[in-house]
Amino acid sequence: MTSSIIYNGGLRTTCTHLQSGNNFETDAPLDNNGKGERFSPTDLMATSLGTCMITVMGIKAQKLGVDLSGVKIDILKTMKAEPRRISAIDLHFNFPKNLHAVDISTKSILKEMGCNCPVQFSIHPDIKVNIDWGVWE
């Protein structure tokens, strides 16, 4: 097993990663009867895409001798009604100044790795994924 989830009531859960014992809580969003004080399940899905992208990029970057420490990804999740679901995920990459000068070939390799991460392949094609690479365009 990967994880366990306990429903705490009040539209909140506690999620535990079984291998490490680490946990976090979720909350329903404000627009769906929750307090919006924690990640919602759909927030986690959108955030998972960003974490997966930068993780596989980091794996490849290590092999290429590039340190991606300090890269920040801002994520915007857009919801759609009827049925309620994610309609778009926008990711904006912010690279520290020391990474602006990485050569174009290495940038292309790393961007391709990010775009081909497992979460990206798991997202339904109806969900529009928009990636802004910032200074790496």
pLDDT in tens, 61-78: 999 999 999 999 999 999
Is it true that the peptide bond before 83 is cis, omega within 30 degrees of 0?
yes
Contact 110, 60 (CB under 8 A): yes
Would the pLDDT of 137 be above 90? no
pTM: 0.94
The full set of domain ranges for the chain reads: 3-32, 41-136
Q: Among 3.30.300.20, 3.40.50.1950, 3.10.450.710, 3.40.50.80, name the CATH number for the domain at 41-136.
A: 3.30.300.20
pLDDT in tens, 25-54: 999 999 999 999 999 999 999 999 999 999
pLDDT for the residue 23? 98
